[in-house]
Amino acid sequence: MKKEGEIRIPSGCAISGIFSKSGKLMSGEAIIKSIETMHDRSNGLGGGFAGYGIYPEYKDLYAFHLFYEDQNARVECERFLERHFDLVNLSKIPIHKTPKITNEPLMWRYFVNPLPTKLKDSQLDEQEFVVRCVIKINTEIEGAYVFSSGKNMGVFKAVGFPEDVGRFFRLEEYEGYSWTAHGRYPTNTPGWWGGAHPFAMLDLSVVHNGEISSYDANRRFIEMFGYKCNLLTDTEVITYIIDFLSRKQGLKLEEVAEVIAAPFWSTIDSQSSTEKERLTYLRNVFSSLLITGPFSLLVGFEGGLMAINDRLKLRSMVIGEKDDKVYFASEECAIRVIEPELDKVWTPKGGEPVIVTLEGSEA
């Protein structure tokens, strides 16, 4: 019989993040090393990364990353893109072949801008136009899937252990001011390329450790506003919830956190009358967007990064600081392996968002 402490029982999935508040660019090598330390928290069925600031030469264009099942899907999707966007540059996503990553789909990258005539005819703002095009591709073009669509950022994900995924996509050749990573341990859905984390919409990306019990209620609500949850996974619906609240409803990220990890009613009752009224309003108006169950999230966005746990802190999250950099991980070892000497290290409270932004910018 093994003694207590000799058997490692991970709580499934690993997340890690690095952010430079000064905007200093970092290669993807450090985030690969960080997530590799938590190898045993995933099972080889999904790994992925998001990098911000990685496309400075195309920073004003939307960078679409696509998976294709076959050439027919690619031809049909490119016809759609040509009808709706100005394609400034397109190419295969560079990879380094390895026996540890197999059965890869076709992977292409497009730098695009909406065609002015199409945008005008749509009577939509630019971001909503792009979102609807992404959803249309993912819903109606068989064998095509847009897994990244932001400006000056990109998502890279696959079936495999995350450290192998990072080297497969040659992330050491990219430089960004913000990186997030995920090692997946699927619970309800099979491991496949599209289902790996991060999930993204425009410049928003989410990596998630946990399993939410509110999925059906959240999905039914969010799909009333044009989103389509094609992948049947909780991280997809979390991404759409945050996009809806921040982009469509105009909530600040602190308010988004107060919706998805809302304070308990007993906590709200103990607040001042003004604060009680505000928190009650958010809980009542967005009651269907409360996320229940164990989770820890890293939410990347242009110019910033947010970390948040569920209200009961049922999933781990450690944060460290050193000079201008902030580190996030499921385990402290994943921070110490890339920055042994920290100025500060702590674990945030349940439901308490930790938001970092570039110097001079706001969330």
Residue 133 appears among annotated catalytic residues: no
Q: Does residue 192 surpass a pLDDT of 70?
A: no
In this prediction, what percent of the chain has a pLDDT beyond 70? 94
Question: Within 10 Å of residue 128's Cβ, how many Cβ atoms?
Answer: 16
Single-letter code of the amino acid located at 52: Y
Q: Does residue 191 surpass a pLDDT of 70?
A: no
Instruction: Give the pLDDT score at 187.
Output: 60
Instruction: Supply the DSSP symbol for 151.
Output: B
Here the tokens at position 106 are: 């076709």
Write out pLDDT tens, residues 44-74: 778 999 999 999 999 999 999 999 999 999 9
Q: Does residue 164 surpass a pLDDT of 60?
A: yes
Instruction: Give the pLDDT score at 307.
Output: 97
Write out pLDDT tens, residues 279-321: 999 999 999 999 999 899 999 999 999 999 999 998 999 999 9
Confidence of residue 7 (pLDDT cuts 50, 70, 90): very low
Determine the Cα–Cα distance for residues 138 and 274; give it in Å rounded to an integer.
43
Which stretch, 232-236, 293-297, 333-337, has highest mean pLDDT?
333-337
pTM: 0.93
Confidence of residue 93 (pLDDT cuts 50, 70, 90): very high
Instruction: Give the pLDDT score at 189.
Output: 59
Determine the Cα–Cα distance for residues 93 and 195; give it in Å rounded to an integer.
18
Three-state DSSP class for 59? Answer: coil
Q: In the predicted model, what is the mean pLDDT of residues 239-267?
A: 96
106 - beta bridge partners?
68
CA 205 remoteness from chain centre: 3
Determine the Cα–Cα distance for residues 319 and 19; give it in Å rounded to an integer.
11
Residue 307 exposure: Cα atoms within 13 Å on the Cβ side? 28
Instruction: Give the pLDDT score at 255.
Output: 97
Determine the Cα–Cα distance for residues 226 and 144; give it in Å rounded to an integer.
19
Instruction: Give the pLDDT score at 1.
Output: 40
Is the Cα dihedral 51, 190, 227, 74 positive or negative? positive
Instruction: Give the pLDDT score at 230.
Output: 83
Q: In the predicted model, what is the mean pLDDT of residues 338-361?
A: 94
Write out pLDDT tens, residues 99-137: 999 999 999 999 999 999 999 999 999 999 999 999 999
Determine the Cα–Cα distance for residues 210 and 295; give it in Å rounded to an integer.
4
Catalytic residue, candidates 13, 77, 133, 333: 13
Instruction: Give the pLDDT score at 5.
Output: 40
Here the tokens at position 44 are: 């080889």
